[in-house]
């Protein structure tokens, strides 16, 4: 690390300790050239992606909004809170692993729908009806018929 006094690029660590409830490391350093001491902090970079909505608006990713949407779809269905938490944690990791600073809301919605389809058809249709903004009963029926076809294919 560069010395703030003489700009020498080399320094040695004299002491290290965790601070901020373990979320950072405080290091006392000594410049190998001028001998002056200084403090540096090492913190975990908290990655907070921006969600780009259908209408172009941007907002910070909020785990709670994803959970709320899933909970509404899964109301009175046999899906546990542990399943939901586990899925949302996995989704967050996927988004972070992509490394993009922005993620399309469409990506999140499609991932949620795919998971709900695996868990429970009723929860899937509930979520899809809001997410896809069905305009009429026919669109709703088309989605149900598609689910029924898929169910028959699985049973064959």
Confidence at residue 7, expressed as pLDDT on a 0 to 100 scale: 93
Average pLDDT estimate for 72-89: 93
What CA–CA distance (Å, rounded) separates 9 from 33?
9
In this model, does residue 104 exceed pLDDT 80?
yes
What CA–CA distance (Å, rounded) separates 14 from 35?
12
- Residue ranges of the domains in the chain? 11-43, 50-155
Structure tokens that stand for 45 in this block: 């970079």
Confidence at residue 156, expressed as pLDDT on a 0 to 100 scale: 46
86-105 burial, b for 16+ CB within 10 Å, e for fewer? ebbeebeeebeeeeeeebeb
What CA–CA distance (Å, rounded) separates 52 from 108?
10
What CA–CA distance (Å, rounded) separates 64 from 88?
9
pLDDT in tens, 1-45: 899 999 999 999 999 999 877 878 999 999 999 999 999 988 776
Confidence at residue 106, expressed as pLDDT on a 0 to 100 scale: 93
pLDDT band at 75 (very low <50, low <70, confident <90, very high): very high
What CA–CA distance (Å, rounded) separates 7 from 25?
22
Q: Does residue 8 or residue 148 have the better pLDDT?
A: 8
In this model, does residue 116 exceed pLDDT 50?
yes
pLDDT in tens, 124-144: 888 988 877 777 777 777 877
The H or E element spanning position 40 is strand 37-43
Confidence at residue 155, expressed as pLDDT on a 0 to 100 scale: 53
- Which of 37, 17, 33, 14 has the alpha carbon at shortest distance from 25? 17
What CA–CA distance (Å, rounded) separates 64 from 66?
5
């Amino acid at each position: 690390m560069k010395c703030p006094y003489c700009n020498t690029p080399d320094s040695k660590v004299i002491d290290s300790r965790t601070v901020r409830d373990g979320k950072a490391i405080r290091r006392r350093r000594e410049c190998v050239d001028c001998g002056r001491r200084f403090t540096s902090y090492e913190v975990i970079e908290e990655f907070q992606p921006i969600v780009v909505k259908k209408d172009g608006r941007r907002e910070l990713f909020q785990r709670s909004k994803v959970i709320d949407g899933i909970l509404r779809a899964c109301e009175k269905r046999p899906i546990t809170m542990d399943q939901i938490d586990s899925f949302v944690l996995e989704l967050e990791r996927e988004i972070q692993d992509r490394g993009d600073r922005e993620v399309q809301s469409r990506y999140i919605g499609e991932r949620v729908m795919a998971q709900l389809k695996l868990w429970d058809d009723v929860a899937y249709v509930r979520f899809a009806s809001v997410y896809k903004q069905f305009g009429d009963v026919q669109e709703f029926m088309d989605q149900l018929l598609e689910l029924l076809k898929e169910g028959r294919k699985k049973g064959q």
